[in-house]
Amino acid sequence: MFTTEQRVAVVTGAARGIGAATAIRLAEEGRAVAVIDLDEAACADTVGKITAAGGRALAVGADVSDEAQVEAAVTRIAAELGAPTILVNNAGVLRDNLLFKMSASDWDTVLGVHLRGAFLMSRAVQKHMVDAEFGRIVNLSSSSALGNRGQVNYSAAKAGMQGFTKTLAIELGKFGVTANAVAPGFIATDMTAATAERVGMGFEDFQKAAASQIPVRRVGYPEDIANAVAFFTAEAAGFVSGQVLYVAGGPLN
């Protein structure tokens, strides 16, 4: 049932934060990992940590919302690392604002990176998964999918990721491919640090305030999300598909 071949995983937005922790975790699980981010040089840190620990990794510069760059990146990964059969659609951006102040370009940017990016990456990688009769796709949603003030673009994108995931699960299941979503709550990364700055709070105080509202009384860390992704991408997780797992230190509606 299980292969002895090394699987190739692709993690987008993996130069830092949740993507970097996920790439490192998947390498620890024995995967070869393509580390995609906007700037190839920015991937060096994640790749260096994987190779220093004896793993295989490749830095790839690509904008996931650009069709030609996505196709070129996946072709290069298949040639240099092997056919990718694990995909983590993690790349993300925020352009928060209240509806009446939000520009159309801030709407398009957020929908473009999260939804169009996940679509382009999944379409490019699925042929390798179908050929291998094995695939694992994990999409990063968010607790903001349930609605969050100042994030009409982001919450729409993250709710969209859930519908996208379920449809991938339905279409690709017969090829041995599962698709699931991880929806983080508050995770301490550059993204939440930028939000703290935008609302005029120090990051420490911002985290303390967030932790006081979370049942386990702490904020999340990138490794908390990497751990959930490792479960969904495991060889043994083949009967778990179309699910959304909130990883938020407590229940959400």
Please give the residue ranges that form the binding site for ligand NAD (CB under 6 A).
Answer: 12-13, 15-19, 36-38, 63-65, 90-93, 113, 117, 140, 142, 184, 186-187, 189-192
| Residue 175 or 203 with smaller CB distance to ligand NAD | 203
The DSSP secondary structure of 147-184, one letter per residue, reads --TTBHHHHHHHHHHHHHHHHHHHHHGGGTEEEEEEEE
- Which one is catalytic: 154, 164, 206, 232? 154
Cα 111 to the chain's mean position, in Å? 15
Q: Could you tell me the CA-to-CA distances from 110 to 67, 69, 92 in Å, in that order?
A: 16, 18, 8
246 annotated active-site: no
| Residue 10 or 169 with smaller CB distance to ligand NAD | 10
Shortest gap between Cβ of 144 and ligand NAD (angstroms)? 7
| Residue 178 or 189 with smaller CB distance to ligand NAD | 189
Single-letter residue type at 95:
R
Q: Among candidates 253, 222, 232, 242, which has minimal Cα distance to 22?
A: 222
Shortest gap between Cβ of 176 and ligand NAD (angstroms)? 26
| Residue 178 or 207 with smaller CB distance to ligand NAD | 207
- Go through 88-98 and write b for each residue having 16 or more CB atoms within 10 A of its CB, e for each that does not: bbbbbbbbbbe
Shortest gap between Cβ of 131 and ligand NAD (angstroms)? 25
**DSSP letter, residue 187:** B
Shortest gap between Cβ of 246 and ligand NAD (angstroms)? 10
Which residues are identified as catalytic?
A: 154
